[in-house]
Amino acid sequence: MGTWVKLLGYFTKRLTAIIFVIVVLIMATFIAYDCANIYVILEEGMALRADAVLSDAESTLLDKFFTQSFLNSDKLLNSGQYEDFDISSYDYKVKIKKVWAWPWRKNAEATIQEIVFDIYGKPKNAEQDEKREGEESPPPVFIPRWENGEKLVNLKKVNHRWIIDKVTIVRSLDEFD
C-alpha cells in the first residue's frame, strides 16, 4: 500500500506542475495578445488624432480608436486651434513607455510620450494677404505648439476591441526620456 500512495503522490505532483505551467502559458499568451492590440491602437489612433487636429479634416476612422465620449470632450479635437492654418508638414512621434492589460479586465492603462514638432504651414488667408499691393507685410503668424508630453491613456474593451477612452497629460516634454 505504501508504494501505491507514493506513486499516486508522485503523479499528482507532476500533473499539478504540468497544469500550472499550462495555465501560466495561456495567461501569458492572452496578456501578450491584449498588450500587442493596445500597442497598435495607441500607435495608430494617436497618430490619426494628430492628423485630424492638424489637418482640420473630419476623420471617419477616429471612432474605431476612440470612444464617443472622448471624441466629444477632447480639447485638441474640438478647440480648432489649428483651423486657421494650412499645415503642410509636421513630425509626429509616439513612444509607448508602459502597457499592461489583464485578460479578465475591461480597462487598461498605458503611459506614452507624444511629441509633435516641426509644424510647418501658413495662415489660410495668406494668399489674400500676398495679393494686396502697397500695404505693409503682415506680422508673422506663429502656429500654436502641440501639447507635447508624457500622457496616461485609459483604454476600454468594447465588443472585444480596445479603444482609447481618456488621455491625461502627466508632464510636459520637449524630447523623449
Of the candidates 95, 161, 91, 94, the one whose C-alpha atom is nearest the C-alpha of residue 120 is 91
Total number of domains constituting the chain: 1
Question: Domain range holding 11?
Answer: 2-172
For residue 114, the model assigns a pLDDT of: 94
Contacts of 38 (CB under 8 A, 6+ apart): 99, 101, 108, 110, 155, 162
Question: Does residue 83 lie in a domain region?
Answer: yes
Assigned domain for 164 exists: yes
Q: Is residue 56 part of a domain?
A: yes
Residue 157 falls within a domain, yes or no? yes
pTM assigned to the model: 0.81
CATH code at position 161: 3.10.450
Given the C-alpha cell 476623420, which residue does it identify? Answer: 59
Residue recorded with cell 496616461 = 152
Give which of 87, 124, 95 is closest to 111, Cα–Cα: 95
User: Is the residue at 62 inside a domain?
Assistant: yes
Does residue 106 lie within any of the structural domains?
Answer: yes
> What is the full per-residue pLDDT of the chain (177 aa) written as tens digits?
688 889 999 999 999 999 999 999 999 999 999 999 999 999 999 999 999 999 877 778 898 999 999 999 998 888 888 888 888 899 999 999 999 998 889 999 999 999 998 888 888 876 555 555 555 666 667 888 888 999 999 999 999 899 999 999 999 987 776
3-state helix, strand, coil split of the chain in percent (to 5) is 40, 30, 25
Whole-number pLDDT of residue 40: 95
Asked, for residue 177, whether it belongs to a domain, the answer is no
Distance (Å, rounded) from C-alpha 97 to C-alpha 116?
Answer: 17
Distance CA 115, CA 159 (A): 30
Asked if residue 17 belongs to a domain, the reply is yes
